[in-house]
Chain A
Amino acid sequence: MRRFFAPLLAIGLATAGTAQAEDTLSPLHFQSQGAFGSIDKAAAQRGFLVYQTVCAACHAANALHYRDLEALGLTPDQAAGIAQGVKLADGSTATLDSPFKDPAMPASAFGGALPPDLSSIVAQREHGTRYVYALLTGYTTVPDGVTMLPGHFYNAAFPGGQIAMPPPLRDNAVTYADGTAATQQQQAADVAEFLTWAADPNLSTRHQIGLRAVIFFVFLSVVAIVSKRKIWRESV
């Protein structure tokens, strides 16, 4: 079955590749937001590249497994290839069923601030998707009158303004296979979409079923109310 679908998936990925040419930055918007939002798979794939290259150096995402990447449009072979490229602490390579690797950073490396697990970070923060974007692009010079803690960086989006995470993203830190310019903003937006998927992998399905259910029950409600009135009219 998989072999049969492989060419179809390839076509799907290719079309996803052209769909991404859409500019998500001006104005900034995320396909996953809103009542009928769905995960932008092309953006989430790019976001995974950023996650794997940059974020995963310090952050774990233990609720995710490499097999889950198939939901983003990767083939099982591609996902297995990604897993094989991951070295675990005991020297072995990850498999499809391994959780996203835990780099086991000591909190002391960041002045006592342990890099949090990113699996559900979007669900844990208010307006999580936009928060991740704002945090990753929120590093500025220290305003006058602010005394920084040692080893901290000023970030306008972080509560309190002082964050122990060094600015993680640089322009062109990754090279996108689909040709999208890897600016810092683009990487931040893509990784925000990826983490939105990570926190709620069923978002697209949920909205899809939900829309059908609502349309069905609107129709059913009308029919039920009309028939109730008709039945009662005949009683008197």
Chain B
Amino acid sequence: MTTELKQSWAGERLPIIGGLCTCLFAPVFKPGSKYFDTLLGLIAITLAFLTFSGAVLAVYYDPWHAFASVQFIDRNVHNGWLVHAYHATGTTALFGLVYLYLFRAMVTRGYRAPGELVWGLGVKLLAVLLLVGWLGFVLTGGAASYWSLFSASNGVLALSGAAGAIGNWFFGGPAGGNALARLVVFHAVLALSALVVVGVLFSARGAVAPKAERGRGVAFFPYYLSQYLAALAVFALIFSVLAFFAPHFGQPRANALPADPLTLPVAVALPWYLLPLAGVAGALPGIWGGILGVVGALAVLAALPWLDRSGPSDAKGGLYSFLTWALALDVLGLGLSCSPLLTLLLTLWYFFHFLVLTPVVTAMEAK
């Protein structure tokens, strides 16, 4: 009763408050959502958290002395090490959430109509975040970062025509302070654009979310708010374990060495969240093979709603769900694989899964 009064008084005078009250108190949500449905909310919160911690780091970061400035943050800025650990662990958490979110949509087959756009935006989010994540990794100025940037920028600069011109504009030259000085801007701008993608994703998901029958819905407050808070508390617990006890989780050890153009470390690796895609990119020869691998891997993922030929039927095929889990193992293997032959086989399976198995098996099982 009181809430309705508030809504009418404040809502009349300030429509945005009225809208907020409707969001919070209107009993329009279908009961029975799973904890996993909070993943998108957690993604948004983590992304906002990364934006704030990144803004603090950006105050002290110096692209011309990248490694030294990160050391300065870790050692001499008050609680700088904590903000740095938050930013690094936030990245790990964000990619964990996004990979889990996309995998869950595949398992529940939520990408099918009318969820195609939601799925496509999810893949777009992953693509933007992979680029932002790689840029952030490069900005740390460690040895592994330097040589990753070295091969990427030199590869792109060697291209002829428009691709080379775009690459030249993006990197501003070979690896070094000049490249980092502009990549730090792209890192920030693309991270903010990821926030926009999440906003659009929320709106698209709201449009296709199943509506409650009249009189049987529940309000966000307190029902789904309590679910969000429970999910957030468990997430914060996992986050704390990582941030305080494994702040360098999934980061190559070579990055504790400063970048040195004259010294190639024994092992150059990427952070864990880039490994599967790097595996696909590395399986194909040449710089164009790498570009084709990255674009192709994300394109077939985005095309999943159309590759799935089961139509509107609710059939949940046992074989296809088994294949989806096999794909998860395949992606995991791409990240862990150390042999080029295995990487090539796993890459072939990845494309075979989407381009051949998905249409055939889903069409078979829909009958």
Binding between chains A and B? yes
With the chains together, A235 CA to B241 CA distance in Å? 34
Proximity bits, A149-190, B CB within 8 Å = 1, else 0: 000000000010000000000000000000000000000000
Cα(A157)–Cα(B245), bound, Å: 27
Q: Which of A207, A217, A218, A223 has the most CB of B within 10 A?
A: A217
Whether B230 pairs with A235 at a CB distance below 8 angstroms is: no
The digit string for B263-296, where 1 denotes a CB below 8 A from any CB of A, is: 0001000000000000000000000000000000
Can you name 18 extra interface pairs (CB under 8 A) apart from A210-B241, A232-B226? A123-B248, A123-B253, A126-B253, A202-B74, A207-B244, A209-B82, A210-B240, A214-B237, A214-B241, A217-B233, A217-B236, A220-B233, A221-B233, A223-B233, A224-B229, A227-B226, A228-B230, A235-B218
Given contacts A206-B244, A209-B244, A217 and B237 within 8 Å (CB-CB): yes
Contact A206 B253 (CB under 8 A): no
CB of B248, distance to nearest CB on chain A (Å)? 8
Q: Name the residue on A nearest B85 (C-beta).
A: A206
- If A232-B223, A235-B31 touch, whether A214 touches B244 (CB-CB below 8 Å) is yes
Q: Does B90 have its Cβ within 8 Å of any Cβ on chain A?
A: no
Contacts of B74 in A (CB 8 A): 202
Given contacts A35-B245, A206-B247, A228-B227, contact A220 B85 (CB under 8 A): no
Query: Given A63-B71, A217-B233, A220-B233: A228 and B244 within 8 A (CB)?
Result: no
Which single member of B226, B244, B256 contacts A210 (CB below 8 Å)?
A: B244
Interface residues on B, range: 20 to 34
B241–A202 CB distance below 8 A:
no
Residues from 205 to 236 in A contacting B, C-beta threshold 8 Å? 206-207, 209-211, 213-214, 217-218, 220-221, 223-225, 227-228, 231-232, 235-236
Contact partners of B75 in chain A: CB under 8 A:
63, 68, 201
Chain A residues near B234 (CB-CB < 8 A): 221, 224-225
Question: How does the 8 Å CB contact mask read for A105-127 relative to B, with 1 for contact and 0 for none?
Answer: 00000000000000110011110
What total of chain A residues lie within 8 Å of the partner, measured CB to CB? 33
Could you give 12 example pairs across A and B, Cβ below 8 Å?
A63-B71, A119-B71, A120-B71, A120-B257, A123-B253, A206-B82, A206-B247, A220-B236, A220-B237, A227-B230, A231-B222, A232-B31
| B contact residues around A223 at 8 Å (CB) | 233
Q: Is B170 an interface residue (CB 8 A)?
A: no
- A223 CA to B81 CA in the complex, in Å? 30
B243 at the A/B interface (Cβ < 8 Å)? yes
Kindly provide the distance from the CB of A197 to the nearest chain B CB, expressed in whole angstroms. 11
- CA of A199 to CA of B256, assembled, Å: 9
Asked whether, in the complex, the Cβ of B257 is within 8 Å of the Cβ of A225, the reply is: no
Contacts of B218 in A (CB 8 A): 235
A contact residues around B233 at 8 Å (CB): 217, 220-221, 223-225
* A232 to B227 Cα, complex, angstroms: 9
Q: Are B229 and A210 touching (Cβ within 8 A)?
A: no
Q: Determine the distance from Cα of A156 to Cα of B55 in the docked complex, in whole angstroms.
A: 46
Chain A residue contacts of B223, Cβ below 8 A: 231-232, 235
Contact with A along B230-260 (1 / 0, CB 8 A): 1011101100110111011000011011000
Tell whether, in the assembled complex, residue B236 and residue A210 are in contact, meaning their CB atoms are under 8 Å apart.
no
CA distance A206 to B247 in the complex (A): 10
Q: Which single member of A124, A211, A218, A227 contacts B237 (CB below 8 Å)? A: A218
Query: Given the known A-B contacts A202-B81, A228-B230, are A217 and B240 also in contact in the complex, defined by CB atoms under 8 Å?
Result: yes
Chain B residues with Cβ below 8 Å from A221 are: 230, 233-234, 237
Q: Which residues 311-337 in B have Cβ within 8 Å of A in the complex?
A: none
Complex-state Cα separation, A221 to B238, whole angstroms: 11
A232 cross-chain contacts in B, Cβ below 8 A: 31, 223, 226-227
Rank and list the top 6 A-B pairs by shortest CB-CB distance, nearest first: A210-B244, A217-B237, A123-B256, A224-B230, A228-B226, A213-B240
Q: Which residues of A contact B230 (CB under 8 A)?
A: 221, 224-225, 227-228
CB distance from B211 to the nearest CB of A (A): 17
Q: A206-B85, A231-B222, A235-B218 are in contact. Are A214 and B257 (CB under 8 A)?
A: no
- Contacting A at CB under 8 A, from B31-59, are 31
**What residues on A are CB-neighbors of B226 within 8 Å?**
224, 227-228, 231-232
Contacts of A209 in B (CB 8 A): 82, 244
Give min CB distance, A68 to chain B, whole Å: 8
* Nearest B residue (CB) for A210: B244
Query: A228 contacts which chain B residues (CB < 8 A)?
Result: 226-227, 229-230
